[in-house]
Chain A
Amino acid sequence: MFSPKLLLISAIAVALVGSILAISSLYANAQNDEEKAVNSRGMGYYQTTGDVLDPAGSSGSASTGIEPMKYLRTFNYGRVSTLPNGTTLREFTMIADDRQTMEISPGVHYNVWTFNGTIPGPTIRATEGDLIRIHLINNGTHPHSMHFHGIHRAEMDGVFETINPGGQFIYEFYAEPYGLHLYHCHVQPLEEHISHGLYGVYIVDPKTPRPDADEMVMMMNGYDTDSDGENNFYTVNGVPFYYMHHPIEIEKGRLVRVYLVNILEFDQINNFHLHGNLYHLYRTGTDMEPDDYTDMVTMSQGERAILEFTYQYPGQYMFHAHKTEFAEKGWTGMFLVKE
């Protein structure tokens, strides 16, 4: 039964079959299914029958639960009434929550902490001298607060009164000075509360309005989705690369005013570079005279500036962080200038 010859022959047979299998498996993948293209924009193309991952390309346009296009030009003026002394009162209800998970980039889900369910939180806008009343409700599982930049009394600073889960608080202060400000949660650990998304833009208009313009808000942020103290994504207005596949349409010859705020956590030095144009820069927006005429502004966390520019030529123009790491991890967008 076990003759050496038989064993010898079978050993050789096994070796032969093994070799054939090994070689044939090398060519086995060459089957044609429905093919899709990966376009690496200058780095080449690749045809695949598998799935395409391209957050910056057309496949990145999938709904993410955050709406950067809506956020861009939405300003909340509050419920307006006039006090007996003639002062305008603006009332806002803000609901803090920390239980949501959102798709912050195509296919990537992250536990976001939000004001009124969005990242960034709603843009609050008032005119200098208005009385602002914010009704904060904490629907989350952690204590939260709202800290506004600007001039106000110590009790309204949102630092010492932390609002526990289920709690409420009313902030009241006058809108001053005019300029571009921001608000964010100021509960420890601050890094955690800010990096998860509890922030928003707060604009105080001067009593004499600025010239008419196409106005928009840009909040520069990041997401550390694996909690290693470094951002995995950088964005403007909440979704990486969003304005690459949804360019912002603006008109040729019309003044554009960008309210630009940097809230970036961890590596906080961020910047804004505009292609094919330069802008007048109003740091913090607290002066009507521009500080600079440039295409590059660099800001640390909490810094902000108003940018004004007008395009002379139609076409597509990029804007992005001129820190290529940020740009290639999502902080890149496009203006589409129309006739």
Chain B
Amino acid sequence: MIASAIIPLVVLGAMVGFLLWPGNGLLNIGTPLPDVSIERIEFLDGRIAAHIRNTGPQAVEIAQADVNDRIVPAAVEPSKTLGRFAEAKVVIPFQWIKGLPYEIGVTTSDGVRFAKAVAAATPTPQPDAGRVSLFALLGTYVGVIPVMIGLLWYPFIRRLSQPKYSFFLSLTAGLLLFLGIDALVEANEISLENVAGAFNGQVMITTAALVTFLALMYVSDRLVDGAKGRVIQGSFAIALMVAIGIGLHNLGEGLAIGGAMVVGEVALSTFLIVGFTLHNTTEGLAIVAPMAKEKPKIAYLVALGIIAGAPAILGTWIGGFVASPVASIVFLAIGAGAVFQVVVVIGRFVSRSSGGKLLKGPVIAGLAVGMLVMYLTTLLI
């Protein structure tokens, strides 16, 4: 039994070993081209730091660095030799001038130069206590507060008749559906602009989104099963799933804001914050909707609001201080998978509470209005 499982693996291992055997020239067709991606450029006090990654098929050695195609002395940390997918930081002592465009380049040992341009040099925020708390404040503004404001719709939702309630639940589903699509589009854009082909960005996005969707689906089903017979608990479980889904989504929004602050798009960032605030108020609505017919404790509501909103704070930290574009697209894809799962959960809930039929007038109208409202709020961002 075990042997029959292992035999194919042994044969496979032998074949891979044969192909990789030193001196086996069987598959040495063509020349492997080096590829180095410059993922992030920081403008610091008296120096420029470029975060590079070897995205080519083989190890590379960095031989020199340049600023605007002029060779300059530099340090490579931790080492000038980069294995496949390894990263390094190239630090160049340089008196850069704020607001000017710069192009930073590195040349590998075979003389090929890779470069990335920055439209306008802006001091990169450093993770000191002041910055950390500023970013936390931003995350609170865009994440926690709007969701809490949205929760204030609870008394209103409570008093609605069944069709109107279905409408608002579907509206929630529409909002989330839109957020999921939005996150996927955003992830795809980042993947095209900043992620090397070697990472297979689009496939990575799809995989992360699907795996998240399936994992949350499983957790959610167990949660609802476990709560069977206790109606309050059941709807609370759905609200909790909605909050987690939105939380993962807000992590992605935090990343976007932190990222915008880093590359110096400060004006855009202020606008981004106002836009996200309006946009996220609707998320509070999404959380309270499934619980409208119950009487949850205020503390539970607050806890749900924090689960949904606080990841935005974490997101601004990651986006502002450590984010790589690869991390960003993974987070965005996870957020998308999470909100799609919530859409399914809400859909089931609506169909159950309206007697097994999903495609009713209020439901369709809710979905459509939800997506349209979201689209309109994105115009503000």
Contact = CB atoms under 8 A, between A and B. Distances in A.
Q: Do A and B bind each other?
A: yes
Interface of A: 1-4, 7-8, 11-12, 15, 18-19, 22-23, 25-27, 36, 38-41, 43-46, 48-57, 104-110, 223, 225-226, 232, 240-241, 324-325, 328-330
Nearest to B306: A12
A44 B77 contact: no
Interface string B290-310: 000000000000010011001
A11 B239 CA distance: 14
B237 to A, nearest CB: 5
A106 B61 CA distance: 11
Contacts of A3: 226
Interface string B315-357: 0011001100000000000000000000000000000000000
Contacts of A225: 107, 110-113
Contacts of B236: 4
A329 B92 contact: no
B75 interface: yes
B148 interface: no
A50 B93 contact: no
B74 interface: yes
B109 A108 contact: yes
Contact of A232 (B88, B107, B223): B107
A262 to B, nearest CB: 21
Contacts, number: 161
B75 A46 contact: yes
A38 B307 contact: no
B113 A232 contact: yes
A325 to B, nearest CB: 7
User: What are the nearest 3 A-B pairs in CB distance?
Assistant: A225-B111, A107-B63, A50-B77
Interface stretch (B64-72, B268-276, B363-371): B64-72
B288 to A, nearest CB: 16
Contacts of B47: 44, 46
A4 B70 contact: no
B57 interface: no
Interface string B199-232: 0000000000000000000010011011100000
Nearest to A226: B112
Contacts of B307: 8, 11-12, 15
B316 to A, nearest CB: 10
Classify chain B: how many residues form its interface, as a range: 35 or more
B73 A19 contact: no
Interface in B160-183: none
Contacts of B227: 4
Contact of A2 (B64, B88, B226, B310): B226
18 contacts: A4-B233, A8-B303, A15-B311, A15-B314, A19-B314, A22-B321, A23-B127, A41-B73, A43-B94, A48-B91, A51-B80, A53-B65, A55-B71, A56-B73, A107-B62, A108-B64, A110-B110, A226-B111
A23 B94 contact: no
Contacts of A41: 73
B72 A4 contact: no
Contacts of A44: 46-47, 93-95
Given A4-B240, A49-B78, A53-B76, A328 B71 contact: yes
Contacts of B63: 53, 105-108
A40 B318 contact: no
A223 B84 CA distance: 27
B263 interface: no
B109 A107 contact: yes
Interface string B100-140: 00000001011111000000000000010000100000000
B223 A2 contact: yes
Contacts of A232: 107, 111, 113
Interface in B223-277: 223, 225-227, 233, 236-237, 240, 244, 247
A23 B310 CA distance: 15
A108 B71 contact: no
Contacts of A43: 46, 72, 93-95
Contacts of A46: 47, 75, 91, 93
Most buried by A among B64, B113, B306: B64
Contacts of B62: 51, 53, 107
